[in-house]
Amino acid sequence: MTTQITSARPAAGPRKGSRRRPPASSATTVGRPGFAWALPAAVFFTLFAIVPLIMVAVLSFMSWDGLSSPEFVGTDNWSRLMDDPVMLNSIWLTLLLTVLGVVLQTPLSILLGVWAAGHQRNRAVLSVIYFIPLLLSATAVSVLWRALLDPNFGIPAEAAWLFGDGNLFGEQATAIGVLAFVSTWQFTPFHTLIYQGAARAVPQVLYQAAEIDGAGRYRQFFHITLPQLRNAMITSMILMIVGGLTTFETVLILTQGGPGTDTTISAYYMYDKAFKSFDYGTGSAIALVLVVAATVISLIVVRVSGYDKMRSSMEGVS
């Protein structure tokens, strides 16, 4: 079985033309993957994604506190949500945090990733250390930073010239800053890893040619490395955007959406409504808004970036 599948794979080789076509002989032994191959995945996806999604959609038209039986209330939840200033604000906050995440993490992880792509030993060791935040759960990271940023006994107390009275969690601007910083601290290593891999895949001949042409390190970076990282950049940004839209634990543990509702992003507001106020109807409506918004944004990104027809960026190299 194993050998058959292996032989069905297109033979890797430098010969053009033979790249996409598997040898004709193996095509008869193993057919093309049929629908049955997708069945297990399809069943699980339906059971754990599609069905709950439909249930959430239905629940958004109901009033339910988790105890009594749900009742249909028409569009009540939706019309209340439309007039809810906290909801509108939460969408802006979600977008703001997502954008901040992309803007902060992308340059950092590109620089770190390209640097880490070098084969020097010290870089390998440091890369491993940089990788550690990613191994911690978001919850652990948040608890850690909440303690580190304690105004009286944490970092702010020692660096009053920078933090003033240290009321980081008591004002909107600083609270958002902390959230963005903590996500950056945690997820930059992951994106660094993506860029490291991509930077190592850049053919050395390009750099050798550039050197012959007299291009310095900066020109090499901007004219070879960056363009070659384009696909990695798109992948990493899509992951950042999806991650930003679904951020939850950091807010839950660092700010609880506060002060007041100043950091109540949509995902937290959904949790607040459903699991703190036991209003599952409104919670479901917010969840549905999130699903639709995330889908639309992802589609736009895929379209604009050309992710759907992604080509190799190594044009002219062979």
Partner 1 sequence: MKIRARLPRLVAGGATLTLALTLSACGGGDGGASADDGKIHVLVYGDAANKVEKKLVDTFNKTSDVKVVLDTIPGADYQKKLQTIISTPQAPDVFFNWGGGSIKPFVKADLLMPLDDFIKKNPDLEDKFLPSVFNNAVVDGKPYGIPMRGTQPVLLFHNKKVLDKAGVTPPKTWDELLDAVGKLKDEGVTPIALGGGDIWPTQMWFQYLFDRVAGPGLFEKAVGGDKSAWESADSKKALSMIRELVDAGAFGKNYDSVKYTNGGSVQLVSSGKAGFELMGSWYYSQQLTDHEAFAEKDLGYTAFPTVEGGKGDPANVAGNTNNYYSVMKKTKHPEAVAEFLELMYSDDFVKAQLDIGNLPTTTNTDEFIETTGNAEYSRFQYDMVADAPSFQLSWDQAYPQKASSDMHKAIQQFFNGQLDTDGFIKAMQALPTE
Cis? peptide before 259, omega within 30° of 0: yes
Minimum distance between the CB of residue 174 and partner 1, rounded to whole angstroms?
9
CB of 83 to partner 1, least distance (A): 13
To partner 1, the closest distance from the beta carbon of 234 in angstroms equals 35
Closest Cα to residue 284, out of 53, 52, 56?
56
- Within 13 A of 166's CA, how many CA atoms are on the CB side? 15
Give 171's contacts (C-beta < 8 A, 6+ positions apart): 259, 262
- Shortest Å distance, C-beta 177 to partner 1: 13
153 or 222: CB nearest partner 1? 153
Least gap, CB of 288 to partner 1 (angstroms): 20
Q: What's the rounded Cα separation, in Å, for the pair 183 and 198?
A: 23
Q: Which of 240/265 has CB closer to partner 1?
A: 265
Contacts of 114 by beta carbon, 8 Å cutoff, 6+ apart? 195, 196, 199, 221, 225, 229
Which residues lie near partner 1 (CB under 8 A)?
Answer: 65-68, 137, 139-140, 143-144, 146-153, 165-170, 256, 258-261, 272, 275-279
Of 9 and 276, which CB lies nearer to partner 1 in the complex structure?
Answer: 276
Residues 6+ apart with CB under 8 A from 315: none
Structural Rg of the chain based on CA atoms: 25
Q: How far is the CB of 293 from partner 1 (least distance, A)?
A: 23
C-beta neighbour count of 17 within 10 angstroms: 6
Q: For residue 122, what is the DSSP state?
A: H
In this structure, the dihedral spanned by the alpha carbons of residues 240, 245, 249 and 252, taken in order and rounded to 10 degrees, is: 140
Residue 206 vs 265, nearer CB to partner 1: 265
CB 303 within 8 A of CB 95: no
- Closest by CA to 134, choosing from 54, 188, 61, is 188
Beta carbon nearer to partner 1, 143 or 238:
143
Which secondary-structure segment (H or E) carries 78? helix 76-82
- Residue 162 CB, shortest distance to partner 1, in Å, is 14
Supply 183's token pair: 């996500």
- Kindly tell me which of 65 and 211 has the beta carbon lying closer to partner 1: 65
Give 106 or 256: the residue with its C-beta nearer to partner 1.
256
